[in-house]
Structure 1
């Protein structure tokens, strides 16, 4: 064999060897794939997903499926290049930078703890949203999360203050406070009744003008605790994050009302939920739709802010129904079940 041929042979072998070794090197990416779905009207591990005690409930049929995304990879268990390449070639999965799921300043354990906390929060918000939709009274402990610098509330309201009333109006949710402040004009005095260190006091604050000319005081709020008139328990096993909020709300609402919200069909969907019933955007919409279709769903409740992305990735046979609020989702499901009325569609913009 000539020296040139030998050199080419050795070089080819080295390139092949490096390629094989390189294919198994860990890379900072995460593969997202369709995860399992759970029927919020059904059971998980032989226990009801939603249990309501202290209030009359009604039988349900069909399915209201929450959808999930599974991930492979992460700082402590990185995928190799070959796995990433396979993912890039599979239209049902997504390969994203590791930092999308695991922020650089958080450990994998901290991310899991945050997801668990968000799941708990979404369950409380879902119960609040369902009761709000059904006009069942409840209360919440709304506290000050912080104030904006150089805004009227700075120095007058403190983190941890519990808001009891605004201008004499009982604080039920965060929206109660927002609505009451916005009912004023810039320059008006807004009187907050708060509890601080166990003592009740009134705090008058002169409202400033917001970006749109509305009154604002520059305070951020959070809900510390809900006081519901009965108990709602949600069991979903090893599922985290806030994106099942809408489907929890629908499941609770269906159990609390006579009739079949699903019309006996398999309905899937996703979206965060606020106590007032606003539906928010989520991640992994493409993978969640594939999981929904694989589970037999024909209708997919889609957050309005995810509609554009969903339209480009929807699998065949899955109807996308736009959901901006819980009320809109309920109205749409009623229309689908009865065959009467309009159904908001992502395609309609």
Structure 2
């Protein structure tokens, strides 16, 4: 019996390989594909109401100029199916990022569980922002309270911008004027009650969202400078921050023409 020729053997081998590749292309993968999300001015309004409302004994809110924009990313949901084609496309796209699903959704297996978790994180972030602002201003809970409204946004990454917004709106904050200097300033970073700024992830996509919505300056947790520089949009200035007081100091220096830190 004659043996199959080499071209025939190669063709026969190619059949199972092609089948494996086709299966791999269709198989769901444990990744999420993220894109730049919405931004929101914490000094402005959301749904027709102020994002930040101050109250307390003798508290007066001052009229501000400029903007302090918190930034977000939007990712495929925990129930979404991400396949090889999506991952390959995300790797080559400048406005997308492929991230392990566990890093995007560390808790919960369903969309509702994720929403509940993110809502809890946002509430804690707002509470910490209020405490950090009180500590910076030297006020107690009786002296100053803040109500924060920002619908359909979850997670802790707006903490820094919330805190700066409370300080900027507070009459008698000692800033000597607007923290923004009339600029559109965006940023990201968690905040704790002691005013420490923490890393958040997804920074390159957030810088793109900031530039898209008109920001010229971006406050970034110092630990994420490298990530922020990797795909920095042209014309967007990075300012690294580690603490709330440091962030306020950098904004004052920016306004006065002083020395401002860079990544």
Instruction: Pick the TM interval, shorter chain.
Output: 0.7 to 0.9
Q: Which moved more, 1:277-286 or 1:247-256?
A: 277-286
Is the CA contact (8 Å cut-off) linking 1:29 and 1:73 kept in structure 2?
Answer: no
Q: Is the 8 A contact 2:196 2:244 kept in 1?
A: yes
Aligned with 1:69 (options 67, 73, 82)? 73
Match of 1:151 in 2: none
Equivalent position SS for 2:76:
strand
Give runs of aligned pairs for residues 199-348 of structure 1, distance below 5 A. 227-257=141-171, 259-339=177-257, 341-346=258-263
Question: Unpaired runs of 5+ in structure 2?
Answer: none
Deviation at 1:14, TM superposition (A): 8.6
Matches of 1:107 and 1:324, distance apart in 2: 33
Partner of 2:88: 85
Aligned partners of 2:253, 2:166: CA distance in 1, in Å?
19
> 2: distance between equivalents of 1:6 and 1:344?
66
Residue 42 of structure 1 aligns with which residue? 44
Q: Which string of whole-angstrom CA distances, capped at 9 and with x for unpartnered residues, describes residues 229-251 of structure 1?
A: 34311111111111111100111
> Whose helix proportion is higher, 1 or 2?
2
Of the structure 1 ranges 126-135 and 6-15, higher mean CA displacement relative to structure 2 is found in 6-15
SS of 1:239's equivalent in the other structure is: coil
Following the alignment from structure 1 to structure 2, what is the Cα–Cα distance between the partners of residues 113 and 325? Answer: 28
Tell me the CA shift for residue 11 of structure 1.
8.8
How many matched pairs?
252
* Cα deviation, residue 309, structure 1: 2.3
- Residue pair 2:158, 2:188 contacting (<8 A) in 1 also: yes
Match runs of 1:80-229 below 5 Å = 80-103=83-106, 106-108=108-110, 109-136=112-139, 138=140, 227-229=141-143
Deviations 1:167-192 (A, max 9, x none): xxxxxxxxxxxxxxxxxxxxxxxxxx
| Structure 1 residues 274 and 228: CA distance shift in structure 2, 3 A | farther
How many Å apart are 1:326 and its aligned residue? Answer: 1.0
Measured in 1, the distance between the counterparts of 2:53 and 2:171 equals: 14
TM-score (norm 1): 0.65
* Aligned counterpart, 1:202: none
Q: Secondary structure at the match of 2:238?
A: strand
Would you say the 8 A contact 1:73–1:79 is kept in 2? no
Q: Following TM superposition, by how much is the alpha carbon of 1:30 offset from its aligned partner in structure 2, in angstroms?
A: 0.5
Distance 2:50 2:229 in 1: 33
Q: Distance in 1 between matches of 2:105 and 2:127?
A: 25
SS in 2 for 1:233: strand
State the superposition RMSD in angstroms. Answer: 2.5
Q: Give me the whole-angstrom Cα distance separating, in 1, the residues matched to 2:144 and 2:81.
A: 45
Whether contact under 8 Å (2:204, 2:229) holds in the other structure is no
- Which SS does the other structure have where 1:68 is aligned? strand
Secondary structure of the 1:283 match is: coil
Looking at CA atoms only, which structure, 1 or 2, has the larger radius of gyration? 1
